[in-house]
Structure 1
């Protein structure tokens, strides 16, 4: 198998090329279809997925993608490595044209993320993280301006006032409200910070938020890349089912509720 650095380079190139194709569609009129679960689907999802598959299939590592036909767990359970991909995370944001959508690619080994790449096509930026190397970066592709993200940038291990909580300003469920109220009862003032798609993980990795409670459904491809980037800078993504890091390539690709914090 290729070395981590080579696999990361392939994932980065796939993310860049997928981002270019996405923006070609984003900047022109496009149609929206709806899947059986009522979630939106555009030509951007399809083209991005095709480009990413073309890159990743060359590695010989199997792929779990939102837009691929899902392979039965009887086959998947024997995979040591797999890619976990969301060709357009935040298709609703894409349709709204608010720019808060991403391309997510993660490499998973024995259920745990090893590498993660998140592309933000509308901002021409990329994030990537290597969990084993404990290294993560953000790059402005337009300027080739690369910023290293380190664990001394992230927040909740230090006194933070107010405590910056990742959540929706307009659609917050009762569980999240209760979580915030508990923080306040513990003596914390709080501030809600919000971004679409996997950019929530990027807020955490950049030290622009302190805790991200997710008490709503997500799928593995929504979180794997973000988890890798966060873990690379010492931030934990913990399942509320078992108090352990989120696992991947499970029989059920639906995630449990989780909390992201250092």
Structure 2
């Protein structure tokens, strides 16, 4: 059918994301404490629970894992990896704490620094996004239950299609990170005769908006880590949408010595 049914890694990532999503929602629907990590970012028990669940699925693949919540491996070891998983168990912890539903589970498989597949699950609304870069296909599925079978998911997949560009541009802005550089980027688009409207979303859903044709451009002129972007880039790349570094003018790459991304533009 789609080729997804034959892809063992993609199936593993999908099943891991749904189980993690179920555990995240158990915390979301209860009282929870918020810790502050060394980098000043928030952490809840949902991040830890989801990470543990995802590890139980990914460790048996014998493919190494870079996860926001795992202890980071030194680059001297990582640079030998040709393939690795890149995971954010809860992307958008700030959105999770605000309880606005705009948080995701991100799982990507990267080969030679390039995303090959990506899964983004939005547990609050049970929406699943899948990107299969080698086959040039990306999909969305609206699930009724976190425990939906893989076979049922295959029947629910709807292909993603980016927008055809016009001069009426929808630009994705962050709920938490709208800054002067982004506003300047918008003004430059307007100077070129474009009518610009801003679409706000939290977490990696910003990538999904562009991939599914609900926005044209996502400029990100604020810090992100590799686990924030790898799955979203896979979904975008699978439908021909580029994620271009402002530093190199080339696509973002992964498993770098420094896991911090440069600024980038998705379009």
Structure 1 match to 2:39 = 37
Structural mapping, 1:1-262, within 5 Å = 5-142=7-144, 145-149=156-160, 153-155=161-163, 157-161=164-168, 163-168=169-174, 172-261=178-267
Change (3 A) 1:4 1:223: farther
Change (3 A) 1:92 1:61: same
For the aligned residue pairs, the C-alpha RMSD in angstroms reads 1.4
Q: Distance in 2 between matches of 1:24 and 1:220?
A: 27
Aligned length: 254
Q: Distance in 2 between matches of 1:113 and 1:160?
A: 30
Task: Name stretches of at least 5 consecutive residues in structure 1 with no aligned partner.
Answer: none
Instruction: Give the drift of 1:37.
Output: 1.4
Q: Distance in 1 between matches of 2:207 and 2:195?
A: 22
Q: Distance in 1 between matches of 2:191 and 2:74?
A: 46
1:124 and 1:140 in contact (8 A); partners too = yes
Runs of 4 or more above 4 Å deviation: none
Normalising by the residue count of structure 2, what TM-score does the alignment of the two structures yield?
0.92
Q: Distance in 2 between matches of 1:165 and 1:63?
A: 32
1:12-55 Cα shifts (integer Å, max 9, x gaps): 00000000000011001111111111111101000000000010
Change (3 A) 1:211 1:48: same
Q: Distance in 1 between matches of 2:211 and 2:251?
A: 16
1:82-128 Cα shifts (integer Å, max 9, x gaps): 00000000001000100000000000000000000000000111101
Change (3 A) 1:73 1:16: same
Q: Distance in 2 between matches of 1:181 and 1:22?
A: 39
Q: Distance in 1 between matches of 2:157 and 2:113?
A: 29
Q: Distance in 2 between matches of 1:158 and 1:219?
A: 29
1:52 and 1:87 in contact (8 A); partners too = yes
Change (3 A) 1:185 1:84: same
